[in-house]
Amino acid sequence: MASKVIVTGGLGFIGSHTVVELQQKGYKVIIADNLSNSTLEVLDRIARITEQKPEMEVVDLSDRAACLAFFKAHADADAVIHFAASKAVGESVQKPMLYYRNNLDSLLYTIEGMQQGSCRKLVYSSSCTVYGQPKQLPVTEQTPRLEAECPYGNTKKISEDILTDLTKGELPADGKPFRILALRYFNPIGAHPSALIGELPNGVPGNLMPFITQTAAGIRPCLQVFGNDYATPDGTPIRDYIYVCDLAQAHVAAMEYLEKEQAVGIDFFNLGTGRGYSVLEVIESFERSTGQKLNYKITGRRPGDIEQIWADTSKAERLLGWKANTGIDQMTLSAWKWQQSLERAK
């Protein structure tokens, strides 16, 4: 019988792409999502891709009673993938308590919910923001985590510490230890080849890729490039952009690893491509892959931005048997096709 996986935040950008990959690998999925950053329409779109509508419940995991009731109702789950969190860097600076309350309470109550039953396998959605601006590049999983640049990144760091201490503490009453993988995402971009699911930012996009596609679609008049005076080849910041479908497939590999490796308490994996691109290189890729000319201008630096980061991905390749394999032009083109499908749907 197919393993049953609870996917919290499963209607979000990375969550929805992961649900597609899980279903296509034969997993039974139950989504918990509070719809704060998504819509129920995503459920129908997932079903159009996989021809099976995932089970789904609207639940706010930061509401302890609601969270525990949800986990009680799904105590037969074999594993949990925890995406549910607020994730806008800029918003987290403006509203830190919303981020600490939502992101930490949701994790703590999810753990409590799992402890009610016997499910102990957890894949946690972490972030490369835990590294801050690394002194050495590429970053490995042993690279020291630095001071978080924002409350969002700090909730990811604190959550990793909570999970680490959880696996070091006394065993739960049933003697079954937690087995946890924390996946540190770099910069997920792009959209499913069907253009039925993709990134759906609320309001003005904070992230680069949706701002580029909305500018090309005429929704935004001009892309601001936040600074070209960094110590990088073209002066603009460098990031490790990873195709969202490759990232989703890494979650399936993580589930299979947890199934196979009984020993792991907690482990960490960088999920990037190992190749960094500057902002101007992403713009060049977008113009090359889509044939769209992009209207942009260089402005001042964005507070909190780091200069450059990209991943050493050898650990995920070695242990998870996973490697991202999608190039930057395919990623930027998939983002544009998704934007065009949104325009058609209006």
Catalytic (active-site) positions: 152
Work out which of 224, 232, 292, 330 binds ligand WQD, going by CB under 6 A.
Answer: 224
Position 127 contacts ligand WQD (CB under 6 A): yes
Strand 238-239 relative to strand 277-278: parallel, antiparallel, unpaired?
A: antiparallel
Are 241 and 270 contacting, i.e. CB atoms less than 8 angstroms apart? Answer: no
Q: Tell me which stretch binds ligand WQD (CB under 6 A): 51-59, 63-71, 207-215, 249-257.
A: 207-215
Interface mask toward ligand WQD for 295-314; x: CB under 6 A:
-------x--x---------
**Nearer Cβ to ligand WQD (138/237):** 237
Work out which of 120, 145, 179, 239 binds ligand WQD, going by CB under 6 A.
Answer: 239
Nearest distance from residue 148's CB to ligand WQD, in Å? Answer: 11
Position 273 contacts ligand WQD (CB under 6 A): no
Helix (H) or strand (E) holding 126, with range, is strand 121-127
* Residues 79-118 interacting with ligand WQD (rule: CB under 6 A): 87, 89
Position 251 contacts ligand WQD (CB under 6 A): no
What gap in Å lies between CA 329 and CA 346, rounded to an integer? 26
**Nearer Cβ to ligand WQD (49/89):** 89
Within 10 angstroms of residue 274's Cβ, the number of other Cβ atoms is: 18
Within 10 angstroms of residue 259's Cβ, the number of other Cβ atoms is: 13
Q: Which residue has the tokens 């510490």?
A: 161
Longest C-alpha distance within the chain, in Å? 61
Position 275 contacts ligand WQD (CB under 6 A): no
Phi, psi at 280, each rounded to 5°: -65, -35
* Closest-CA residue to 192 (of 284, 25, 346, 330): 330
* Residues 181-200 interacting with ligand WQD (rule: CB under 6 A): 185, 187
Strand 179-185 relative to strand 121-127: parallel, antiparallel, unpaired?
A: parallel
Q: Tell me which stretch binds ligand WQD (CB under 6 A): 140-148, 170-178, 224-232, 266-274.
A: 224-232
Position 211 contacts ligand WQD (CB under 6 A): yes
Structure tokens at 175: 């003697």
How distant, in Å, are the alpha carbons of 35, 111, 298 from that of 38? 5, 23, 31
What is the binding site for ligand WQD (CB under 6 A)?
A: 87, 89, 127-129, 185, 187, 206-208, 211, 223-226, 237, 239, 279, 302, 305
